[in-house]
Amino acid sequence: MRQVLPSLRQIAAGALTAEAAVRACLERIGELEPAVLAWQFLDPEAAIAQARALDRGPSRGVLHGVPVGVKDVIETVDMPTTYGSPLYAGHRPANDAVCVAIARAKGGVMLGKTVSTEFAFTSPGKTRNPHASGHTPGGSSSGSAAAVAAGMVPVAFGTQTAGSIIRPASFCGIVGYKPSFGLIERHGVKTLATSFDTVGVLARDVADAAFFVAAVADRPALAEVAPLSRMRVGLYRTPVWDLAEPATVAALDQAVAALGRSGAVVVDVAPAAADHLALHEAVMDWDVLHAFSYERLFRLDRLTETTRQQIAVLESRVSLAAYEAACAGMAEARAALPALFGDCDVLLTPAAPGEAPAGLASTGDAVFNRGWTMLHVPCVTVPAGVGPGGLPVGVQVVGRIGDDGRTLAAAAALEGALAD
């Protein structure tokens, strides 16, 4: 289903002109967008003009000519940023978000804005799963995941506060990379929960994801993904393993078998004692309610019904005592991470309960993502199987805080082993 374009590294090196890359993306969008509905805003003429300007001059940097999708909670000076909400229809920020500014400065072409759930929260947008239009693409990075999976763009910004990169990547059959918390600067991104909001990427493969994040995070070493030798992987079935559907169990079994054939050692890892999901929920509830202060106190009637209902739920259950206790529990859980990993390079765990569920009223369950987001660790989705409905199923590679290079290398090794 994906278009055939060179890797991001090859595009930037001049394997084709910036205009040719942009036109290839726009052609694919013209073909599939009526069914997928991945884009919130597109201006083809402006995108081509950006590309032509790049082609007329010397290389701008490591992303020269690379077309990029930008999730609509990330601010852009030359395109509307609605944050997925009717309240902000037509809103024009005064500046680019830092991550967008860096991508532009290094030669990236901001192709358009991809659909997000409202404020990257729970109210779904219009996007369909490109593999089956009656199924969700996941969220909140719905448009970014669907656009990459459909071959409309080779790479797109996403954000994750619970499971908004890892889960849609699994549902759409692509790579999703949520870096360690704070690796990519988030100034200019609509705040959902300040304790967890993380900027990341949806891409066709691990190498493209690593190359792009290396550029926008100013961490060039991340781009040099070399599969680990004699890797030790911990199979982590999580305390909510009973929520893993047969398709996810089979995908993990396939990943373990592939790793074994490649020479990696896979061992079982005992689940953590702390209730990571409860800790994440209590802190996120508090953060979200405060991040929405303006919208809920002064513009509540302009929000979608789903968001209004969810705000009412938060108002009924949030307490300072629960928040403070959860903050203390989070600190303890992060301190326990070395013991959880033991002598493993990375952990292997579900990316989502199963394949994308039918219907568009929900973006799916983040139950296998929220704890890792709370822990601030890097996570990578690798496609690893197919569910009973013929839709993709991914697995999740998790690393230690700040150990993004090793995490990407392990994900690349798994990707290669599965391909073999």
pLDDT tens-digit map of 297-313 = 999 999 999 999 999 99
Q: Maximum CA pair distance of the chain?
A: 59
Angle at 62 between CA 58 and CA 63, to 5 degrees: 90
Q: Compute the distance between CA of residue 71 and CA of residue 151 in angstroms, rounded to an integer.
A: 16
Catalytic residue among 71, 106, 178, 190: 71
For CA atoms 184, 187, 190, 194, give the dihedral sign.
positive
pLDDT at position 3, please?
A: 47
Please report the pLDDT score of residue 161 as a whole number: 98
Task: Tell me the C-alpha distance between 38 and 30, whole Å.
Answer: 12
**Is there a contact between 73 and 100 (Cβ–Cβ < 8 Å)?**
no
Q: Closest Cα to residue 212, out of 370, 7, 420?
A: 7
Q: Where are the domains of the chain?
A: 1-272+332-420, 276-331
Q: Which helix (H) or strand (E) holds 404?
A: helix 404-419
Tokens at 214, concatenated: 């290396």
Per residue in 6-57, pLDDT (tens digit) is: 999 999 999 999 999 999 999 999 999 999 999 999 999 999 999 999 999 9
Which segments of the chain have a pLDDT < 50?
1-3
Does residue 113 have an active-site annotation? no
DSSP letters, 249-316, are HHHHHHHHHHHHHHT-EEEEEPPPSS-HHHHHHHHHHHHHHHHTHHHHHH-GGGS-HHHHHHHHHHHH
Whether 142 is catalytic is no
Q: For residue 231, what pLDDT is reported?
A: 95
What DSSP string describes 158-203?
EEESSSTTHHHHHHHTSEEEEPSTTSS--TTB--S-TTT-EEEEEE
Which residue of the set 164, 170, 180, 195 is catalytic? 164
178 is a catalytic site residue:
no
Interval 118-170: pLDDT, tens: 999 999 999 999 999 999 999 999 999 999 999 999 999 999 999 999 999 99
CA dihedral for 210, 212, 215, 217, sign (positive or negative): negative
The arrangement of secondary structure in 1-272+332-420, i.e. its CATH architecture, is: Alpha-Beta Complex (3.90)
Of the residues 85, 123, 140, 170, only one is catalytic, namely 140
Task: Please report where in the chains the tokens 């909001």 appear, as a residue.
Answer: 197
- Which residue reads 């993306």 in tokens? 25
Q: Which two tokens stand for residue 22?
A: 């942009």
Tell me, yes or no, if the pTM score tops 0.85: yes
Determine phi and psi for 272, rounding to 5 degrees: -65, 155
Return the exposure string of 263-289: e unless at least 16 CB atoms fall within 10 Å of the residue's CB, then b.
ebebeebeebebebbbbbbbbbbbbbb
pLDDT given at position 227: 72
The pLDDT value given to residue 355: 98
Q: What gap in Å lies between CA 21 and CA 51, rounded to an integer?
A: 8
